[in-house]
Each structure stands twice: as structure tokens, then as C-alpha cells.
Structure 1
């Protein structure tokens, strides 16, 4: 049974997500639909890129991923279908697959060209669904599009490394449901540049000189519970996706606060790592 996933900025209030699912089932009843997220911030390509990168790999090879973010067809925003890492992605060519494509080269890319057979002002419903069902039936990409060599790549997803190799300048890539702040600095980049040197991470007024592997690593459980620093403790970790994340231990934005609010950090804010010479 084919798996089709949905990632959109439609939210839960409106009919859009339900309409897309209904149209898929009308096209083929022998399919499984999985929601990755419909709560992407409106038109937020880098946020979607981060979520998709870390979700798609958990699905079986051959899964089909519809991405409905900034998907209106324009001369500068063409639609593409891509075979990448043995998964199919259907989306606008707006850089949304940058985080995946920066590490894994697409095996095949086509620019979708079936629009003249469809009247639509809702391309996710009328175009992306048709392409996804075509693939799910075993159809090839060449039937629904013309081959192209590359997709748009967002350069801002990569942090800047100075010529002296003692500083990384990154930014906030994503803020999760707990208010934890994910930077665009990966563990691989950090270790390649740092080479074991001491360092300081600065993000506005927050500073860190250690990076933990888990949240609980930051807590000294040898101390009595009433003496140890827990709720509200600030920390930096390498998160499960391999990115440096700035967090508050057991953060709750409505009680102890979150990294985003307490550090005053928003999307695209600067995060700097300075290494000792």
C-alpha cells in the first residue's frame, strides 16, 4: 500500500487539509495518508525544510511526500517532483528541500507540466494530488514533467565560518513546541571547525560554554533534588537531528518560560560560536 504524507501551512481550522485527503481517497482508496504537520508557520520555507528533513527518513523507501508551502504557481515558483534518497517529494521549487538536498543529491528532478490539463487556484489539491496518485500507481516522473538539472537552494541555511576558522556565525532555524531554539549549526560543522577547542556560544545575552548530548546530561543527579538546578536551567545540546539547540530544561512557555522568550530569540536571530585560538 502506497504512503502519501502531507506537510502544509494550512492549519487545522480550515477545510484545506481535509479536502486534500478526500481528493486522494477519491483518486485511490488503496493508500495510506499520514499528516506530518499542518502547523508550519505560513509560507515559512526554512521551518518546513527542517521538519521535512527530520520526518521523511522515518518512512519506508518509496513514500510520497506532498509539501504544501508557498505552492502557488508563478513564473518564479514552478512546481517540481523529485526522487531523493528513494523518496518522492512534490512541492514548489522554492528551496524547501534545501536541508535534504545539501546532503543528498536528488536522483531525478522534473518540472511538473500538467497544469494546462487542470483548472485550479488550489494547486496542492488539483496538481500535487494528481501527481502523487500517478506515482503511487507506479507511474514515472517523466510522464508528468520535464527533466531539469537542479532545484533552488537556500544559501542562508548554511552558517558562516570565518577565514581564521575560529568563529561560526549561524542563526535561529526553528523554534519548537517547547520554545527550544534550533540553530542552523550542525554537530558536524561544530566539530570540524572546533577540533576540540574550548568555545563560547553567544545568542543575545545568553552564553554557553558546554554542549550536552541530552537535556538530562545538564542536571547533576548526585545532588539532592531540592538543591540541584533543574526547572529553568539554560543549556545547549546537540539535538536528535544533529543541530545545536538552545533550551531550558523542562521548559513550559506558560510557566518557567522557554528559551525563545527568556533569551529573546526569534527566527533568523544570530547565534555565534567563538573558539579559543
Structure 2
């Protein structure tokens, strides 16, 4: 199955998204194009990486992921294809692919000049044709050579000691729930059995299994389907009501 996911910061009010799709379908009308999101905040690589990291493993191995976020920004150092965990990613070399996993991609290709024409719309003119052809059976090696300069961004990593974990909010979703960078794996490794979770002016001393485990208006904390600590207020916008936002501190104190 020729499957392509499409992630961008184009929004849905202009012609950009359908133009990119049209370019791919003109090459292979049988492509199955899945929209991940086109409402990424403009140029927001952290938001885009969060969406992609949270979803790409749920697609079949071999899926091609077209990423068009900040494609013409000053951070972009050309256009690349990478293979990570049996998935193919096509997009700008601006650091976004370094935020998808703890390990580096197994294959990294810098697209050759013959495939990289000068364009004010590289998502359509450069990335879409390559993504369509790779999804149709071509190899990313067909479009360039080994990547020498893989741009990297440094994600926030939780600080952990025997006594506590200090993490940060990675994302505030549309419901106001706050997703942190504290993983269940790290928590389980350090948890002696008693703890308090501190965020804003609130504290909790238990982990719930979901939103509905607390009464409307009460705070919750649980590990979500991606394995990260999520906090908020049931039926309330936790970000606004708790005064928390992207990169706000969340702490877990262990009791011995």
C-alpha cells in the first residue's frame, strides 16, 4: 500500500495543502494520503515533532511521512530523507527529525541538487515529488547521497535523582490538558511507592487511570497512551486554570 502521511504548518484556509496533495497524486493517483495535522503553530518545530513522535509508530512500517514545517526558514540546511524504525521521513534538514526518537536514523540522505530546484514552495516542488516516488517504490538513495550534516535540536530531558524527577510540559492540548516529558518508564524505575506530584499550586499523591477517575473540576494525573505523564483538570482547561504552559515545571517528589 502506497501510504503517505502529511504534516505541515500551512493551516486550512489557503491552497497550500491541496496543492501539495495534487502534486503527489499527479505522480501516483493510487496514493493514500493521511493528514496528521496542518494546524501546527507557524514554524513550531517542537509542536510538529510532538505530533509526529506520538503517531508515526502507529502506522505500518514502510510508511512515508512528508513533513513541511518551516521549510524555507533560516534553520533549514537543505532537504533530506531519513529512515528511522522502518519508517521513511521526507522534509527539511532543520532539526525536526532529531526530536523523534532517542537514537539516530539508520539511513540519512541529502537530496541532490538535481532534485532540489529553486522554489518559494519547496513542499510542493521538491518534497512532494520525492515523497510520492518513494511511497511508490523508489529508494531515498535514488535522490541523493549520504547526509554529512544532520541538524540536531536538543529536547528537554527530565532531571532525575533518587529523591525527585523534574520535568516540563511538552504540550498543552486543545482541552487544556498538559502533557509532560516524564515517562512512565522513568517513574516506575524510581518510584519507591509513595510520592507527590507538584504542578502550579497543586499537589497529588496518586496516579489515576484516566480523566474520568476524578470529579469535574478536580485535578488528575495519569500516564497517557504514549507513556508520558499527563496532568489537568477534568472538564476544565488545566493550562489556564493552573497557570501552566509549554515548558512549565512539573515535579515528582519521592517519599521514603
TM-score by length of 2: 0.91
Name the SS for the 1:97 alignment partner: helix
Contact 1:71-1:77 within 8 A present in 2 as well: no
Q: Do residues 41 (structure 1) and 41 (structure 2) align? A: yes
Match of 1:101 in 2: 101
Q: What does 1:16-55 align with in structure 2 at a 5 Å threshold?
A: 16-55=16-55
Asked whether 1:145 is paired with 2:144, we answer yes
Structure 2 residue corresponding to 1:209, chosen from 200, 205, 210 = 205
In structure 2, list runs of 5 or more residues that go unmatched.
Answer: none
* Aligned counterpart, 2:174: 177
Could you tell me whether the CA contact under 8 Å between 2:70 and 2:76 is conserved in 1?
Answer: no
What's the Cα RMSD here?
Answer: 2.1
Native 8 Å contact 1:73 1:123 kept in 2: no
Shift in Å, 1:264: 0.8
Structure 1 residues 117 and 153: alpha-carbon distance in aligned structure 2, compared to 1, 3 A threshold: closer
In the TM superposition, residue 151 of structure 1 has moved relative to its aligned partner by 3.8
Matched, 1:260 2:256: no
SS of residue paired to 1:88:
strand
Where does 1:33-112 land on structure 2 (aligned, <5 Å)? 33-72=33-72, 74=74, 77-102=77-102, 104-112=103-111
Once the 2 structures are TM-superposed, how far is the Cα of residue 74 of structure 1 from its aligned partner?
4.5
Do 1:114 and 1:144's aligned partners in 2 also have CA atoms closer than 8 Å? Answer: no
Runs of 4+ in structure 1 over 6 Å off: none
- Local SS of the residue matching 1:155: coil
Instruction: Please tell me whether the aligned partners of residues 199 and 273 of structure 1 are also in contact (alpha carbons under 8 angstroms).
Output: yes
Partner residue of 1:119?
Answer: 118
Determine helix, strand or coil for the equivalent of 2:118: coil
For the residues of structure 2 that align with 1:143 and 1:238, how far apart are their CA atoms?
42
TM-score by length of 1: 0.85
Q: How many residues align?
A: 256
Match of 2:229 in 1: 244
